[in-house]
Chain A
């Protein structure tokens, strides 16, 4: 069988990215133009600015992906593009560009779910990983515990009832003046802190033992900060970050491990931007080892938004015969497993 090359395109939030993926799991190029330095000045992603930057950079990013992969459009078998979920204005740039390329070059088009991309990032560095397995997805917009039954087939076992884990990180970081993006800043500050210095509540949700809640933890942290300010006490930021991170990690790890034990899964993967958090990775690795579960995680650069993961997810959809038409639209609220 000859090689299949997929051009992946991603523009759902604040990274403009393109990649060329060979046979689903080999990254020939992985180009990212990150806008993080611009949005940092605003304390978060500004959708209109993100969209304007995407359209300025997208041509260069795609051309660079081909050049670094040492190929041309002739070598591309299909174009995979993120069409949701995400910021609608940002998604539209990638979707319109990908559709037009697909039409002009007469190449098949495959729309990819952004979160499915994050999950698929695990395939890239783990050639042996095949469904079924359990996967914990933690990002700025999503917290999901899923069973990956097959490529593109998911059972959502648990989800956050309120804030996503990444949102809680961003809000806590802002409250203690660490700024945006909160995830890496809290992670770094927590390294010098005591994770049991302050006891924050672990969010428990009635009804489904696998659902998450992070607004309670976030509020407890904000209350702690306000009380300290009123009493004019100094806040130990490393201790606070470490204790907050511990509370979030406990919620995530306990549910993921319980799911594996209860359903007999021997493989657990993590995905999403927050999956690059060093504490969450270390705790999951330790608990997986203890319970005889194989732990999979993408390199941090593949946890962040990128197009290699979109190309990978797109490859398996392409093999299954999925093709999208020229009327493909951006779906900002696309649910996992939906079309």
Chain B
């Protein structure tokens, strides 16, 4: 089984090839260039080095969020483009779960909580807790003081990693009342090998999707949408219909793709613009 892992959710661009559980190649860079320029040439490089071909892939595992909105989309559209030509399935892998897997430890009868923390700006982090490779609770965007309160109340031993560690290191050291540690620089940032390993597990459980069905989990809505919702929350707007369902049905309809046929001869018979354009 050959799986390509891709992660461009943060400052690091990373790709890896996993064959039957063995990491054949992994290529990560964190050199301040845009993922748009670096990611695909890196993917090409690992295929060339390993002598494998895109068409040989069983699936492509992609970091599906949270993370930088644009970064996530560069990874996802790169994966979609690779997958489209040969109808290769995609696997959505949580960025936080993959980060936690960088330092996976399973000690029988013992628990070390792993907390990937990603800088979400506006004094928040994207985070989730993992124990013995399992998610505890849910993925969320919360403030660092909230997170510290939760952890202090929870007790136990804890490990932190992720790009928000340098941002909040001093705060964590000053406020945590439980035993804790930080991951080293070799595994504190996103690694595509972790994405590919989780991807392989999900693929074996049948949890792959087609390219068009692949969804990113941004956690946060676009700012304009949040502002609109905050401004528009009026009492008389409350209805008994499920608003999420209504919104989905509407969005699917308005974005419908159509073929706007163009005649083969010169002629201006139709001088009007179609209604929906």
Which A residues have a C-beta under 8 Å from some C-beta of B? 15-16, 26-27, 29-38, 41-42, 46, 48-49, 51-53, 55-64, 68, 73, 88-89, 92-105, 124-128, 184, 276, 278, 281, 297, 299-304, 306, 308, 325-330
Smallest CB gap from A300: residue in B: B273
If A31-B257, A49-B225 touch, whether A89 touches B73 (CB-CB below 8 Å) is yes
Residues of chain B touching chain A, judged by Cβ–Cβ distance below 8 Å, are: 34, 36-41, 43-44, 54-55, 69-70, 73-74, 76-86, 211-212, 215-216, 218, 222-225, 228, 251, 254-268, 270-274, 276-277
CA A95 – CA B82 in complex, angstroms? Answer: 13
In the complex, chain B residues whose CB is within 8 Å of the CB of A63 = 84, 212
A55-B73 CB under 8 A given contacts A127-B266, A300-B273: yes
**Contact residues in A for B78 (Cβ distance below 8 Å):** 96-97, 99-100
Name 8 A/B residue pairs within 8 A (Cβ), A-sorted.
A35-B254, A37-B276, A46-B222, A52-B222, A64-B259, A95-B36, A281-B271, A308-B262
Please measure, in the bound complex, the distance between the C-alpha atom of A73 and the C-alpha atom of B87, giving whole angstroms.
12
Query: Which of A31, A42, A96, A297 has the most B CB atoms < 10 Å from its CB?
Result: A96
Q: Is the CB of B40 within 8 A of A99?
A: yes
**What chain A residues lie within 8 Å of B34 (beta carbons)?**
329
**Complexed CA–CA distance, A52 and B37 (Å):** 20
Whether the pair B73, A92 counts as a contact (CB closer than 8 A) is yes
Docked complex Cα distance between A125 and B254 (Å): 28
Could you say which residues of chain B place their CB within 8 Å of the CB of A302?
Answer: 262
Q: Compute how far the CA of A60 lies from the CA of B258 in the bound complex, rounded to whole angstroms.
A: 11
Q: A49 vs B254: C-alpha distance in the bound complex, in angstroms? A: 14
Closest chain A residue to B259, Cβ basis: A68
Q: Which 7 A-B pairs have the closest CB atoms?
A: A100-B81, A48-B222, A37-B254, A96-B77, A33-B257, A27-B262, A300-B273
Chain B residue contacts of A281, Cβ below 8 A: 271
Candidate in B82, B218, B260, B267 with the most chain A CB atoms within 10 angstroms: B260
B260 touches A58 (CB 8 A): no
State the CA gap A95–B225 with chains docked (Å).
26
Q: Is the interface of A mostly helix, strand, loop or mixed?
A: helix
Please name all residues of chain A whose beta carbon is closer than 8 Å to the beta carbon of B77 when the two chains form the complex. Answer: 55, 58, 92-94, 96-97, 100
Shortest CB–CB separation between residue A73 and chain B, in angstroms?
A: 5
Do A38 and B251 touch across chains, with their CB atoms under 8 A apart?
yes
Q: Which of these, A276, A304, A306, A326, contacts B40 with CB under 8 Å?
A: A326
What residues of chain B lie closer than 8 Å to A34, measured between beta carbons?
255, 276-277
Distance, CA A82 to CA B70, complexed state (A): 17
CA–CA, A96 and B79, complex, Å: 9
Kindly provide the distance from the CB of A289 to the nearest chain B CB, expressed in whole angstroms: 14
A59-B80 contact, Cβ under 8 Å, with A127-B266, A302-B262: yes
Minimum Cβ distance to chain B for residue A16 (Å): 7
A303 CA / B271 CA spacing, docked (Å): 11
Q: B84: which A residues are within 8 A, CB to CB? A: 59, 62-63, 97, 101, 104
